[in-house]
Amino acid sequence: MLEIHSVSKSFGNFQALDNTSFDVNLGEIHSLLGENGAGKSTLMNIVCGLYTPDTGSLKLHGETRVFKGPQEASAEGIGMVHQHFKLVASFTVLENLMLFYNPGPNFRESEKIVIKKSKALAAELGFSLELESRAGDLSIADQQKIEILKVLIAGARIIILDEPTAVLNDDEATNLMVLIRKLADGGSGVILVTHKIREALDHCDRITVMRAGKKVHEVLPKDVDALGLTKLIVGENIVSSPNYTNDKSSLPLIEFDNISMIDEIGRTKLSMISFNVHGGEIYGIAGVGGNGQTELASIIMGLERPSEGKIKVRDIGDVTNDTSIKRRKDGVSSIPVDRYLHGLSGQQSILENYSIAAVLRGELGGWLKLNKTLARSKAEEAIKSYDVQGVNNVNQRASLLSGGNAQKLVISREFSGEPRIVFAHSPSRGLDVRAGAAVHNKLREARDKGAAVILISEDLDEVMLMSDRIGVLSRGKISAEFDAPATRSDIGRAMV
């Protein structure tokens, strides 16, 4: 269905793709794997018309094509679900779906078709979406569902999915992969860009591995196992295993006492949540997306205030109404789920994004007399240490980094001091095997130095791997707590 021959693409001096080839057949799910910055998203952005290649060619059903934009690619039946969503936050779910659907002369009839299609697809996927909800009010997981529906409703025959299950729970991810297989069996070609090795092995027909902008391997799932595939991707085996601690001899470092939140139209988002986290432990919060994770994260980061309840930090006292800047000065570091919304200022430089935490800690002089030489040195050292790729110089805009490398920049900044309390919301989302393991090690290092670590993740494997204690968030309440090691079935029952 699609052939890419010897494609190259540069951004300034950065070679994103180097003589890369790829193809997908009718009825096939072809997985594209590689580390962050390997060129996967750039290659797919060429396929869907966002980028034009510098050299090379693209053939669609045997004919050479050059797309001048995404609309041309979409008209030819190519649809891409991007890792970072392309939704209009102020529009409803239905309005976002209508933007992507090409309505006929009768708008209302087209609207009825979209409503019918979206409800049928959502039911088939096991999704639950309110079409009149504002997109910006939805959880990250629900926004992902809208993106998937957009492409399917538009009737794409070549479907590109960039990390589609990164923010879905186990059941949602399984339902999605079943639907993807149905689409392939029905005559579509599916390209699955993922960091989940097991997903590629279990659900794909072919696997292509990219490294540094080049295609380096193509294998069949039956010919490789998880360890072998990891080695193809990163050149070595990286195995992460649980490392629990149950030392609670000290008083809690942070306490959440009966935290509740009611939104502006009177809906209860959080109800009487109470838990505490000791220094030297990781407290994981599991749950299906949309059960209060977004609201709890905003409260922990100081972006919103609870309607009721108190947050107390040992030796400081009541911090319930403290701003996010005050939280940071008190030793709280935050890794938000949406790195571009809450983690970075995309139009500012990499240097500025990295340095802001050190400026607030007073380590780089004052606002009026900033030690720029020291700031540059620290930023360059962090970029090297955390393997942030795609950086020509530290003065380039942060928005030019790929999703995984943007996450690495956020994480390097948040661990640049000695945080007392670390909050991480889906910290390994969109990261490759090596980078994900590095993040987990950093969280464990912070714990082992005495920090209290709060981990919210809709990836149950991540919660179970990392947590010393686990709280389950369901309908805005902590429905159960478990000491590690907990069983998957017990946590699953508490989640529903």
Backbone angles phi, psi at 159, to 5 degrees: -115, 120
Residue 493's pLDDT is 82
Note if the pTM is more than 0.85: no
Per residue in 69-113, pLDDT tens? 888 898 888 988 887 778 898 999 999 998 877 666 788 888 898
Q: Which of these, 491, 33, 444, 494, lies nearest to 229 by C-alpha position?
A: 33
Residue 154's pLDDT is 81
Q: Are 47 and 74 in contact (CB under 8 A)?
A: no
pLDDT at residue 240 greater than cutoff 90: no
Whole-number Cα distances in Å, 9 to 12, 126, 213, 218, 476 = 10, 39, 9, 21, 46
Per residue in 166-183, pLDDT tens? 767 677 778 788 888 888
Q: CA 151, CA 133: separation in Å to the nearest integer?
A: 19
DSSP-derived secondary structure letter, 162: E
Structural domains of the chain, ranges and CATH numbers in brackets: 2-234 (3.40.50.300), 252-495 (3.40.50.300)
Percentage above 70 pLDDT, the chain = 95
Q: Annotate 317-366 with DSSP letters as a single string.
A: EE-TT--HHHHHHTTEEEE-S-IIIII--TTSBHHHHHHHHHHHTTBTB-
Q: CA 106, CA 357: separation in Å to the nearest integer?
A: 53
Helix, strand, coil content of the chain in percent (nearest 5) = 35, 25, 35
DSSP-derived secondary structure letter, 487: P
pLDDT at residue 305 greater than cutoff 80: yes
pLDDT at residue 338 greater than cutoff 90: no
Peptide bond into 70 cis (omega under 30): no
Residue 331's pLDDT is 86
**Based on C-alpha coordinates, what's the Rg of the chain?**
23
The helix/strand count (H/E) of the chain reads as 16, 20
